[in-house]
Structure 1
């Protein structure tokens, strides 16, 4: 993976709750194989340079059994940087979810697929983080000093979920891999086929950030760099 094809995309999310600035990383769609050691090392170095306080992993970690080895090495590095939480992607189901989960938890990360995880920052902000969970109506009301996050693989329908979350992080679409033109934060022609093929969306008090991902099963991209999503909460 050439370094010029991998970048850090920085976003800002301003909360109403007073707290110290918090940097979180969202990494998704690695699609590692046995030959992904160099890519894993490059991603690890970029993640360390961001000095995150929390890392979220959005699924689609490996495309072949051999991809579990660079995956475990990367997650080990990430878990040493900050608490690391992971959910599953569709490719993980195909490869074998139990094996992927073992690689991730064995490397020191927490598996939050299908459940809610609470994380209190050093500055006192309480994060409620759902792992690919669809909440029940009014499952978690908005409260001062708290932030409701959804760590997802596929971008959900923001029109239905926005009352339940302050921030949603998702991947899966790879930005369409081929971007011929951009209108605002919308990436085309992929946006013609997938409603949420873009960079960022907002509805009500909720913001959704969609990552273009870090790898591909078919390694072909044009005008659509691979990326780590780095979010400053402040």
Structure 2
């Protein structure tokens, strides 16, 4: 167990595999809850190096980016760094309301990234038709091969009308203090928050919950920060 106080502690890359029936493999990286401040420069540098190393085909940003004006400068540097990448999708978190969703959206769109709002977006990855949405209310057309749900705050995926193979959420930070963990989740936070867990399977959907990259109150115990890196590949393909 480890106590972390302050900013710029390291984060882990949680690697997961999502198996599908057929098609070429591709990768998805989800990151969320940066809560950047003026002290966050080293974290942003490590995050950029991690993205360079992993080189995901799809990059999902799950909200709660900035806690201060100085943090927005670091976020601007990060957005400009990923601006040249394809298939980058950005959603707002609840905390972004306080700093200004419109300001964040303008930065994202000025750098030609996709601000994922109410309407889903479809892309083609090596012939596979992939739909990405953030609200869970959109229908899934028959011609979509693979559907990804990108959330900030976890919800019950089984209660949504859409069908997904892969879903991500953040927001809970693992509750920042973890005294014990099991297949049911991270405790004691799991006693209060149903989705305070690392992953679960809901029907045919792999549901992954990130512990985030930063905290407004910079204190954690046994709750390492993370990004979630998923390889989507057919059942028959070896690692």
TM-score, normalization: structure 1? 0.91
Q: How does 1:111-126 map to 2 (within 5 A)?
A: 111-121=115-125, 123-126=126-129
Q: Indicate conservation of the 8 Å contact 1:73/1:107, yes or no.
A: no
Q: How does 1:110-149 map to 2 (within 5 A)?
A: 110-121=114-125, 123-131=126-134, 133-135=135-137, 139-140=139-140, 146-149=145-148
CA shift, 1:94, in A, is 1.5
CA shift, 1:2, in A, is 4.5
State the match for 1:99 in structure 2.
Answer: 103
Q: Indicate conservation of the 8 Å contact 2:140/2:162, yes or no.
A: no
Q: Indicate conservation of the 8 Å contact 1:76/1:107, yes or no.
A: yes
Q: Indicate conservation of the 8 Å contact 2:11/2:225, yes or no.
A: yes
Deviation string 1:25-65 (CA, Å, 9 cap, x unpaired) is 10100001123222111111011111111100000010112
Deviation string 1:50-98 (CA, Å, 9 cap, x unpaired) is 1111100000010112221111211222233442110000011111111
**SS of equivalent residue, structure 1 residue 90:** coil
Q: Structure 1 residue aligned with 2:48, among 40, 44, 56?
A: 44
**SS of equivalent residue, structure 1 residue 164:** coil
Matched residue count: 227
State the match for 2:13 in structure 1.
Answer: 8
Structure 2 stretches of 5 or more lacking a match? 1-6, 234-239
CA shift, 1:141, in A, is 5.0
Q: Are 1:32 and 2:36 counterparts?
A: yes
CA shift, 1:148, in A, is 1.1
State the match for 1:86 in structure 2.
Answer: 90
Q: Indicate conservation of the 8 Å contact 1:29/1:172, yes or no.
A: yes
Q: Which structure: greater helix fraction?
A: 1
State the match for 2:67 in structure 1.
Answer: 63
Q: Indicate conservation of the 8 Å contact 1:151/1:169, yes or no.
A: yes
Structure 1 stretches of 5 or more lacking a match? none
